[in-house]
Homo-oligomer: A and B are copies of this chain.
Amino acid sequence: MTSRAEEVGSFCHALATELFPICRSITGQGVRQTLAILGQHLPGLTVHEVPSGTQAFDWTVPPEWNIDEAYIEDDAGNRIVDFANSNLHVVGYSVPVDVHLELDELQQHLHSLPDQPTAIPYRTSYYSPYWGFCLTEQQRRDLRPGRYHAVIRSRLEPGSLTYGELILPGREEREVFLSTYVCHPSLANNELSGPVVATALARSLMERPDRRYTYRFVFVPETIGSIVYLSRNIERLKANVIAGFNVTCVGDDRTYSYLPSRNGGTYADLAAKHALKHVAGAFREYSWLDRGSDERQYCAPGVDLPVCSIMRSKYGEYPEYHTSLDDLSLITPTGLGGAYAVLRAAIEAIESDVRPRCTVLCEPQLGKRGLYPSLSTTETTTQVADMMNLISYSDGERTLLEIAELIGAPVWRLREIAGQLQAAGLIEIS
């Protein structure tokens, strides 16, 4: 990994550490606090509020959920499960409750993982009124028959759904779209890694001189947030987005993963696979059937944005997924920095992807331009081979990314050579 990627990884991990304790859900103060912190690093980040009850395609923005306190006390008054210890202890969107009940009744509202006895599971019930607690299997086994006091001081009230949006204009109106989600409570790989890596990518692009494309970053609650965002922006997105990436599960350092767009083969898919091959090396390739995040909305029939996912360990595929074990120790500067590097390379692949056309018929005489060694040798260097191959494929039909795939070279390296050849008048670029 480059030192730049390591540095970015450290920045990401520090930012994730700051955001980790906040209790986020699909609405509420947690989202606003999160966006406020991200906004400190992202000048221009705009926060949007969409009132409860707003219709978005088949969905309705739910009441806003906030929570102050939640616990279970035994009959001796001991708080045996307490939201103050972990915001995973409460089922997300739990309705308020304050009730005394027997263990048998309480069990109907408890969730634990028999196979992972030290992990608190992550559960939500956004659209069906319910209350519940999550706890470790060990805690649950210790519960003795008797009377318990279950308290959840939450509020489900008209409010709004909150999301953030950042647009970095480029020379063209055509856009690269990046989406990540800010609705998960204290969980790290899935999901604080997405917002922090997206923040790092945005910062890097702010500094990039001469952006060809416009970049649009959105920080939304998953599912309802992307649906709301689409319902307000779909025409603009369909007109302008040439490639997009759903940024999720980009924090651990065990593997790299790729999940395609619905129909595959979009510009985003090509760039993602190119970047994964040349930056990550090996990676696991999933199918659309393995999907599970906001690509479900961005690639839905009739929406069909060119959006795919570059990930580290994919949601649902690692043992700590959706449990309290997905914590800050699971994500690392190396993991975050590596994901950043691949996503950044995918973006650079798109920025580099010009269409070169050789200006002369037959091979140009590189020697007279000082671009070719004058004395023939048995071996031609890689540099010359790349240059000759690039010229050979500069037929005005193939793009640089297509040529890079044919040659097996990273497109950003070919972009540099294309610049030299353009300066020498040997290729035109469109």
**Does residue A394 face the partner (Cβ distance < 8 Å to B)?**
yes
Q: How does the 8 Å CB contact mask read for A75-113 relative to B, with 1 for contact and 0 for none?
A: 000000000000000010000000000000000000000
Cα distance, A362 to B301, chains bound together (Å): 7
Cα distance, A181 to B130, chains bound together (Å): 65
Cα distance, A123 to B374, chains bound together (Å): 11
Chain B residues in 8 Å Cβ range of A286: none
**Does residue A18 face the partner (Cβ distance < 8 Å to B)?**
no
Q: How does the 8 Å CB contact mask read for A188-219 relative to B, with 1 for contact and 0 for none?
A: 00000000000000000000000000000000
Residues of A in contact (CB 8 Å), total 58
Residue from B127, B289, B407 in contact with A367 in the complex, judged by beta carbons closer than 8 Å? B127
Q: How does the 8 Å CB contact mask read for A362-403 relative to B, with 1 for contact and 0 for none?
A: 111101100000111110000001000100111110000000
Is there an interface contact between B59 and A365, defined as CB atoms closer than 8 Å? yes
Stretch at the interface among A2-10, A33-41, A136-144, A353-361: A353-361
Is there an interface contact between B124 and A58, defined as CB atoms closer than 8 Å? no
Is there an interface contact between A230 and B375, defined as CB atoms closer than 8 Å? no
Given known contacts A301-B392, A302-B395, A321-B378, A361 and B124 CB-to-CB distance under 8 angstroms: no
Which residues, 244 to 268 on A, are CB-close (under 8 Å) to B?
A: 262
Is there an interface contact between A230 and B361, defined as CB atoms closer than 8 Å? yes
CB distance from A150 to the nearest CB of B (A): 17
Is there an interface contact between A375 and B128, defined as CB atoms closer than 8 Å? yes
Is there an interface contact between B289 and A389, defined as CB atoms closer than 8 Å? yes
Chain B residues in 8 Å Cβ range of A357: 301
Chain B residues in 8 Å Cβ range of A274: none
Is there an interface contact between B130 and A374, defined as CB atoms closer than 8 Å? yes
Is there an interface contact between B362 and A300, defined as CB atoms closer than 8 Å? yes
**Does residue A311 face the partner (Cβ distance < 8 Å to B)?**
no
Is there an interface contact between A358 and B127, defined as CB atoms closer than 8 Å? no
Residue from B321, B358, B377 in contact with A302 in the complex, judged by beta carbons closer than 8 Å? B358
CB distance from A4 to the nearest CB of B (A): 31
CB distance from A290 to the nearest CB of B (A): 10
**Does residue A322 face the partner (Cβ distance < 8 Å to B)?**
yes
Residue from B230, B367, B378, B406 in contact with A316 in the complex, judged by beta carbons closer than 8 Å? B378
Residue from B123, B125, B363, B374 in contact with A300 in the complex, judged by beta carbons closer than 8 Å? B363
Chain B residues in 8 Å Cβ range of A59: 362, 365
Residue from B127, B303, B322, B360 in contact with A362 in the complex, judged by beta carbons closer than 8 Å? B303
**Does residue A296 face the partner (Cβ distance < 8 Å to B)?**
yes
Cα distance, A22 to B20, chains bound together (Å): 81
Is there an interface contact between B376 and A57, defined as CB atoms closer than 8 Å? no
Cα distance, A364 to B59, chains bound together (Å): 7
A397: nearest residue on chain B (CB-CB)?
Answer: B301
Cα distance, A130 to B125, chains bound together (Å): 81
Chain B residues in 8 Å Cβ range of A394: 301
**Does residue A160 face the partner (Cβ distance < 8 Å to B)?**
no
Given known contacts A301-B394, A301-B395, A357-B301, A364 and B58 CB-to-CB distance under 8 angstroms: yes
Residues of A within 8 A of B (CB): 56-59, 91, 121, 123-125, 127-128, 130, 223, 226-227, 230-231, 234, 262, 288-289, 291, 296-297, 299-304, 316, 321-322, 357-358, 360-365, 367-368, 374-378, 385, 389, 392-396, 406-408
Q: A58-B364, A125-B374, A316-B378 are in contact. List 18 more A-B contacts (CB 8 A).
A: A57-B361, A91-B375, A121-B378, A123-B376, A128-B375, A227-B362, A234-B361, A262-B393, A288-B392, A289-B408, A291-B392, A296-B362, A296-B392, A297-B363, A299-B392, A300-B358, A300-B392, A303-B361
A-B contact pairs, 18 of them (CB 8 A): A58-B363, A58-B365, A91-B375, A125-B375, A127-B367, A127-B368, A227-B363, A230-B361, A230-B362, A291-B392, A296-B392, A297-B363, A301-B392, A301-B393, A302-B358, A302-B361, A303-B361, A304-B395
